[in-house]
Amino acid sequence: MLKRKILSTLFFACLAAAAIPALAHACAVCLTGDGDATADAFNWSVLFLMATPYTVVGSIAGWLVYKYRRAALRREQEAAANPMVRLAWNQEESGR
Amino acid sequence: MAQSLTAKRLDEPLAELNLKRREFGGGEPPVRSNTPVGANAWLAVWMFLGAEAMFFAGLIGAFIVFRLSAASWPPPFQPRLPVGVTGVNTLILLLSAVTMRRSIASVRAADSAGAVQLLGATAILGTLFLAVQGYEWVQLIQFGLTVSSSVYGGLFYTLIGFHALHVFGALICLLVVFARARKGRYTAERHVGLQICAMYWTFVVALWPVLYGLVYLY
């Protein structure tokens, strides 16, 4: 019974908050409407901050890919420059 | 079959072509997935620079909010920022990145003396940048632009101040690297400390044109 009262109170509180958003203060920039300078400023700021982590992580990942590809290319060039036969078993044994 | 071919190779050098076949132990060298392509310190510095980028992104985000929501910018009765002098200062800082990158090229070419000279030039350019910034700040404070004078002043000193602090930190790092380079600690094969310092310096330099464009020009 008590649980039902709590639930119904919460339901009506939510309903009131949805019906009178100005009292709820749910969102600092939701009530300003389109074309408002403050809302636009927050929107641009949010977009910028949203894009930054992707840029940072993408830069690190791109750098790693670049380094791996360059290392592979360098290995190929070294192999082409050095005509000595590479023995796989020898390389594994020596660890080089 | 294998024995006869191996024996043939001992007698005839041309038979080494056969040894390139996998059944004789030839072929491509085994790929080692655990072989690092760079120093672990590089990755650590990348992580650190990522955190630094997020820190400045937060400050820039705050600047965007105040800048775009302001009716007029700069606010009335606030001094204008010195765009021309700071533009020249920007070129000085960009030049320091060039000398820094060339110092790495010198170390790789086993030219230690050249690398030391270029590191010294980088340190001088960085110090010059900070000196001009400091002079500008003194002028702006005399004109009445302080941290507490307005949001404009607060944002300016926070953004530009934190960048100047980073340049100062990078300069200390650079002076340590310079001292080590003079002692011949960096070789063509091993110069991780110099590379790390160059990464941080490049980050600080690359950040500045963004801040200059945002705070001074926009």
Q: pLDDT by residue (tens digit) across B203-213?
A: 999 999 999 99
| Pair (B26, B53) in one structural domain | no
Q: Are B125 and B99 in contact (CB under 8 A)?
A: yes
Q: Which residues of chain A are within 8 Å of residue B61 when distances are taken between CB atoms?
A: 45-46, 48-49
**Confidence at residue B3, expressed as pLDDT on a 0 to 100 scale:** 58
| Pair (B24, B127) in one structural domain | no
Residue B59 has pLDDT above 60, yes or no: yes
CB nearest A60 (choices: B26, B46, B61)? B46
Q: Does B38 touch chain A (CB under 8 A)?
A: yes
Binning pLDDT at 50, 70 and 90, where does residue A33 land? low
| Pair (A64, A89) in one structural domain | yes
| Pair (A18, A54) in one structural domain | no
* Domain with B64 in it: 41-217
| Pair (A54, A70) in one structural domain | yes
| Pair (A24, A45) in one structural domain | no
| Pair (A14, A44) in one structural domain | no
What's the structural domain count of chain B? 2
| Pair (B149, B98) in one structural domain | yes
| Pair (B164, B196) in one structural domain | yes
Residue B80 has pLDDT above 80, yes or no: yes
Q: Do A60 and B20 touch (CB under 8 A)?
A: no
Gap between the Cα atoms of B177 and B196, Å rounded: 10
* Domain with A91 in it: 36-96
Q: Does B13 touch chain A (CB under 8 A)?
A: no
Output the six-digit token pair for B87: 């533009």
Q: Do A45 and B62 touch (CB under 8 A)?
A: yes
- Indicate the SS3 state at residue B195: helix
Output the six-digit token pair for B72: 């007029």
Alpha-carbon gap: A75 to the closest alpha carbon of chain B (Å): 10
| Pair (B24, B91) in one structural domain | no
List the one residue out of B163, B160, B129, B164 whose CA is nearest residue B145: B160
| Pair (B88, B14) in one structural domain | no
| Pair (A24, A69) in one structural domain | no
| Pair (A42, A81) in one structural domain | yes
| Pair (A18, A60) in one structural domain | no
**Confidence at residue A40, expressed as pLDDT on a 0 to 100 scale:** 85
Gap between the Cα atoms of B15 and B38, Å rounded: 38
Q: What is the DSSP letter of B143?
A: T
Q: Which residues of chain B are within 8 Å of residue A91 when distances are taken between CB atoms?
A: 29-30
Gap between the Cα atoms of B193 and B17, Å rounded: 43
| Pair (B91, B110) in one structural domain | yes
Q: Full-prediction pTM beyond 0.80?
A: no
| Pair (A21, A40) in one structural domain | no
Cis peptide before A53 (omega within 30 of 0): no
Chain B residue at shortest CA distance from A65: B37
Residues 62-91 of A with CB under 8 A from B: 63-64, 67-68, 70-71, 75, 79, 85-91
Chain B residue at shortest CA distance from A71: B37
Q: Are B217 and B86 in contact (CB under 8 A)?
A: no
Chain B residue at shortest CA distance from A36: B69
Q: Do B46 and A63 touch (CB under 8 A)?
A: yes
The domain that holds B208 is classified in CATH as: 1.20.120.80
List the one residue out of B175, B180, B184 whose CA is nearest residue B112: B184
> pLDDT for A82-94, tens place per residue?
666 555 555 555 5
Gap between the Cα atoms of B148 and A4, Å rounded: 53
What's the structural domain count of chain A? 2
| Pair (B30, B47) in one structural domain | no
Output the six-digit token pair for A6: 């709590």
If 0-12 CB within 10 Å is exposed, 13-18 middle and 19+ buried, where does residue B96 land?
buried
SS3 content of chain A, % helix, strand, coil (to 5): 75, 0, 25
Alpha-carbon gap: A34 to the closest alpha carbon of chain B (Å): 13
| Pair (A22, A42) in one structural domain | no
Q: Do B27 and A88 touch (CB under 8 A)?
A: yes
Q: Which residues of chain A are within 8 Å of residue B47 when distances are taken between CB atoms?
A: 60
Of B3 and B143, the structure prediction assigns the larger pLDDT to B143
CB nearest A42 (choices: B20, B26, B65)? B65
Residue B197 has pLDDT above 70, yes or no: yes
Residues 61-80 of B with CB under 8 A from A: 61-62, 64-71
Q: Which residues contact B189 (CB under 8 A, 6 or more apart)?
A: none
| Pair (A24, A40) in one structural domain | no
| Pair (B97, B192) in one structural domain | yes
| Pair (B72, B155) in one structural domain | yes
Output the six-digit token pair for B106: 């010198």
* Dihedral, B150, B156, B157, B160 alpha carbons, nearest 10: 180
Residue the block writes with tokens 């019974």: A1
| Pair (B104, B20) in one structural domain | no
Binning pLDDT at 50, 70 and 90, where does residue A27 land? low
| Pair (A27, A43) in one structural domain | no
Alpha-carbon gap: A14 to the closest alpha carbon of chain B (Å): 30
| Pair (B95, B25) in one structural domain | no
